[in-house]
């Protein structure tokens, strides 16, 4: 296929949950094709499936996984019927899930390696059904395995939770990938968000909500012209619009402002998805799959500088706060260095820090 600029499109859980949403995906792809772009689509698991897979593991430890397996089978069979594609397409994944759950029920524990393999099935199933639907709609779409493209930055010294459940990947331009796709005669590509593999080929996850980051990695590797994150809200708001209905849409943000909001709890973007697009100057649009025509947020280098003002409010729940009181800090040298060395030794990442002369308070990043 002659080279055309790439647009990377990411669709989240609710955006891949029904035929009408997949029809929107097909329409968006078609529109980009007509405008001379080659769409590279990244999808999440169907809404609720990642949580159900997580629950499957918990139930398997007690040997009570069968009803959860049934639920997963039913949900994917229903979606396949809705899309008029063969439910048998996901049979191998459902069988593998059943084998893995049985394994957990026998050893009565879950390790991070196994956890990652089970959770990866959600994205593998949604994209398998989605690819069949897109091809049935006349969009010549190649399904790719994200684990063959995204390699995690692995370090045997990292705790296994980090290595397998919250991995990060490199995002330099990937000329080998670009040439391989160039030689492919497909008009568009579809792959999984959330999953990657270690250099040794083991499945890893990019952390909950990590499909945004997958899409940003692909955009950077392909040198895409733009990244579009399609979700259930039309953009980043001044607060979570589900909690604060009067929140206003932010039309244009800089990467650093968006980064600050994403890190501090605006879960519409995964915290790690901004760095790859910022580094390569790729504009990021947030769009609503529910209402594709709505005005949306653009995140880029060209955000107007409105001076210092409060742009948005975000909140995080379930955080761990540690407050350390001491009189020993006054005119002491290296007290904070000792405190932070302790966190480092225990593998704990610190989020926010507040200090006074007699108190240091930190919040811990529980992920």
Tell which residue, 186, 191, 133, 138, has the closest CA to residue 17: 133
Rg over alpha carbons for the chain, rounded to the nearest Å, is 22
Residue 59 main-chain phi, psi, to 5 deg: -70, -35
By DSSP bridging, strand 188-192 and strand 141-143 are parallel
Judged by CB under 5 A, the residue of 39, 122, 209, 210 near Mg ion is 209
* Interacting residues with Mg ion between 11 and 40 (CB under 5 A): 12
Both tokens assigned to 84: 């008029």
* Interacting residues with ligand ASP between 25 and 44 (CB under 6 A): 44
Contact 181, 239 (CB under 8 A): no
Provide, rounded to whole angstroms, the least separation between the CB of residue 12 and ligand ADP: 2
Q: Supply angle C-alpha 195, 147, 150, rounded to 5.
A: 85
Both tokens assigned to 50: 């990642």
Residue 364 interacts with, from ligand ADP, ligand ASP, Mg ion, none (CB under 5-8 Å by kind): none
Nearer CB in complex with Mg ion: 24/198: 24
Nearer CB in complex with Mg ion: 209/241: 209
Nearest to ligand ADP by Cβ — which residue?
12
Provide, rounded to whole angstroms, the least separation between the CB of residue 21 and ligand ADP: 11
Please identify, among the stretches 169-177, 203-211, 309-317, 329-337, the one whose residues bind ligand ASP according to the rule CB under 6 A: 203-211
* Interacting residues with ligand ADP between 249 and 288 (CB under 6 A): 266-268
Residue 233 interacts with, from Mg ion, ligand ASP, ligand ADP, none (CB under 5-8 Å by kind): ligand ADP
Q: What's the burial of 48, exposed, middle or buried (CB within 10 Å: 0-12/13-18/19+)?
A: middle
Give, for 39, the enclosing helix (H) or strand (E). strand 38-43
Contact 310, 238 (CB under 8 A): no
Q: What's the burial of 348, exposed, middle or buried (CB within 10 Å: 0-12/13-18/19+)?
A: middle
Tell me how many residues contact ligand ASP (CB under 6 A): 12
Residue 254 lies near Mg ion (rule: CB under 5 A):
no
CB count in 10 Å sphere of residue 229: 28
Residue 122 interacts with, from Mg ion, ligand ADP, ligand ASP, none (CB under 5-8 Å by kind): ligand ASP
Q: Which residues bind Mg ion (CB under 5 A)?
A: 12, 209
**What is the binding site for ligand ASP (CB under 6 A)?**
12-13, 44-45, 50, 122, 193-194, 208-211
Q: Which stretches of the chain bind ligand ADP, using CB under 6 A?
A: 12-15, 44, 209, 231-233, 236-237, 239-242, 266-268, 312, 314
């Amino acid at each position: 296929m002659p080279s055309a600029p790439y647009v990377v499109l990411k669709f989240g859980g609710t955006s891949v949950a029904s035929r009408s949403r997949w029809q929107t995906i097909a329409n968006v792809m078609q529109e980009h094709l007509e405008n001379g772009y080659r769409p590279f689509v990244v999808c999440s698991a169907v809404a609720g499936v990642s949580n159900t897979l997580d629950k499957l593991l918990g139930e398997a430890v007690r040997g009570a996984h069968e009803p959860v397996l049934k639920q997963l089978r039913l949900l994917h069979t229903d979606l396949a019927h809705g899309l008029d594609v063969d439910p048998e397409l996901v049979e191998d994944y459902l069988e593998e899930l059943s084998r893995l759950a049985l394994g957990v029920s026998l050893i009565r524990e879950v390790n991070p390696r196994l956890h990652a393999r089970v959770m990866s099935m959600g994205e593998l199933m949604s994209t398998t059904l989605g690819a069949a639907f897109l091809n049935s709609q006349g969009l010549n779409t190649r399904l790719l395995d994200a684990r063959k493209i995204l390699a995690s930055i692995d370090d045997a010294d990292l705790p296994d939770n980090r290595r397998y459940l919250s991995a990060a990947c490199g995002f330099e331009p990937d000329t080998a990938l670009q040439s391989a796709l160039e030689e492919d005669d497909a008009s568009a590509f579809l792959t999984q968000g959330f999953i990657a593999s270690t250099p040794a080929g083991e499945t890893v996850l990019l952390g909950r909500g990590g499909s945004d980051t997958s899409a940003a990695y692909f955009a950077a590797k392909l040198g895409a012209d733009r990244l579009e994150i399609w979700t259930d809200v039309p953009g980043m708001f001044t607060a979570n619009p589900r909690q604060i209905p009067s929140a206003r849409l932010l039309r244009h943000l800089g990467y650093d402002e968006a980064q600050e909001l994403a890190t501090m709890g605006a879960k519409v973007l995964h915290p790690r998805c901004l760095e790859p697009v910022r580094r390569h100057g790729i504009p990021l649009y947030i769009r609503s799959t529910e209402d594709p025509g709505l005005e949306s947020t653009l995140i880029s280098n060209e955000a107007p500088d409105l001076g210092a003002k409060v742009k948005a409010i975000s909140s995080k729940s379930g955080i761990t706060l540690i407050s350390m009181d001491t009189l020993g800090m006054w005119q002491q040298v290296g007290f904070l260095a000792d405190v932070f060395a302790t966190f480092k030794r225990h593998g704990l990442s610190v989020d926010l820090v507040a200090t006074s002369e007699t108190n240091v308070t930190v919040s811990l990043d529980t992920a």
